[in-house]
Structure 1
């Protein structure tokens, strides 16, 4: 009997069953990629259109570009609970892609409102809250004020689980645009030409992934029974690199060796003293990633690692990613 059930589950995954998806935060940095990935997977994709978008012409045009690709726009507001419930009722799956920037303001309240709307709608088969980075359940000792982000995400998780909403948490990698192209330097997004700062000895393992790949993996989890009520880590094996390894990839591509300055942990953290809250949070996050190795210092089973679950995805290796900067 067990073999029959296992085969049935596998057939659902392989068949690529399509579903109706509502993306909240679809005009955001990762959200727009998730919208496109859901469409590429053939899912019936809805994108929440909030009246608060106002005169942001780029976001308006982005929304209507989704429509040209086949997405459906759904008008709803977080200040109108019933409109939010009505939007949720259109979908089998809801994905929240509201950015971490907003988490440090009022957006945790929006996420909790979304959870309540999903609970009231009563039809959602899967909810994916806004995660995509460090695992908040492992960041209980994170430095303040960066810890606030993780505490808020855990509050959202508790609300999801208390409501009994089926869910998937997708996380585990640094966005390549912010951590790879700049060789993990703060305050720049392009590779340094002469000198590079190295955090500690530079030998702590870090996970980096192309944002489009993260979106693709996310879209694949939404109707996969193997990922229901599970955490899925995006940890492509070839992209588990130390900072030194990342720098060496760039040096090999350019044929030029960079001057390296190693920064001890205490010196790095000293930068928090004269920084504003946002900068302090960023420094804290960099510390946990590059000095403590919070993205790669724990084991992930094959049944929870995205590239193992979906080996058909040809993810971008960092040597290929860095070529755009040549």
Structure 2
């Protein structure tokens, strides 16, 4: 069983994106034949994306260029793989219905991991703009369940590199850091590949919430001050201001504000308990070394963080 899982053929949608490329590299490093379904190269394709595609081809990754509307092309690709992972950014969430249709048509997929990687949408109720977005993700979950497609839903709970960069702006010369609310509400790629091949995670929700990485905004800022030798002025944004912005900003600008409220003010990531029989990634794989917040900040001291595109929620 274990050897069979190690040989699983994996197809990743969004494999050249912010999260997806880390999953692709992890998949290859763990010995899986890996391919990517990506948009065709065009005039708007960034040089960094072209370089990434060259890197992937050099290590044997097959890139299938196509649109999500090309049903037959997706079906043909799915016939050659065992596991499907979607790392599509949040504006494309409902486009995953096209992937589901193709998975139903082929009938051979052993596991589908949709693009969640954010909050546990079945357990929280945030401000309306974020709630509307999460309802789209719930629609994907319910469609997968209704089609009896073997799945793993992943709740990454505010993955560190994105939000540490968002809060600290590590290479910003200014000595101000924005604190949302009162500041006290407290490596995705490799773990996603692991759980997608793990029989324990079939038709289950897997939560990424290691205790060692639970930290408040104030604790994070203090740790950054200690490492940099700088002192930062905390500029507070009251909860009522975030709520007002969520009501007055036009979509999609109101969504990130609502996400900030959910995470940093309400503390939705920590508002529900993880029971002993729930699947939490650090408990599933205690032998694997997690990147701690302390280690991440050490990386930020020397390496500029890459620009993050809309991939959270």
| TM interval, short-chain normalised | 0.7 to 0.9
What do you get for the CA RMSD once the two structures are aligned? 2.2
Q: Deviations over 1:35-89 (max 9, x none)?
A: 11111111111111433x4231533442232121121223444232111111111
Q: Which has the higher contact order (CA 8 A, sep 6+)?
A: 2
> Quick one: distance in 2 between partners of 1:88 and 1:50?
16
Aligned pair 1:156/2:140, yes or no? yes
Aligned CA distance change for structure 1 residues 101 and 175 (closer, same or farther; 3 Å): farther
TM-superposed CA distance for 1:191, in Å, is: 5.4
Q: In the alignment, which residue of structure 2 is the partner of 1:174?
A: 158
Aligned pair 1:46/2:35, yes or no? yes
Q: Given the alignment, which residue of 183, 193, 197 partners 1:219?
A: 193
Q: Which runs of 5+ in 2 are unaligned?
A: 302-313
Q: In the alignment, which residue of structure 1 is the partner of 2:267?
A: 293
Aligned pair 1:26/2:1, yes or no? no
Q: In the alignment, which residue of structure 2 is the partner of 1:35?
A: 24
Match of 1:174, SS state, is coil
1:78-227 matches, cutoff 5 A? 78-103=68-93, 108=94, 110-139=95-124, 141-182=125-166, 184=167, 190=171, 193-205=174-186, 213-227=187-201
> Quick one: distance in 1 between partners of 2:259 and 2:91?
13
Q: Deviations over 1:181-223 (max 9, x none)?
A: 34x26xx564564222222332111xxxxxxx01110011111
Match of 1:278, SS state, is coil
Match of 1:47, SS state, is strand
- Asked whether the equivalents of residues 30 and 97 of structure 1 are also in contact (C-alpha less than 8 Å), the reply is yes
- Asked whether the equivalents of residues 179 and 234 of structure 2 are also in contact (C-alpha less than 8 Å), the reply is yes
Q: Deviations over 1:286-319 (max 9, x none)?
A: 0000111111221224551111111222111112
Q: In the alignment, which residue of structure 2 is the partner of 1:208?
A: none
Q: In the alignment, which residue of structure 2 is the partner of 1:62?
A: 52
Q: TM-score, normalised by structure 2?
A: 0.88
Q: Which runs of 5+ in 1 are unaligned?
A: 1-11, 206-212
Q: TM-score, normalised by structure 1?
A: 0.84
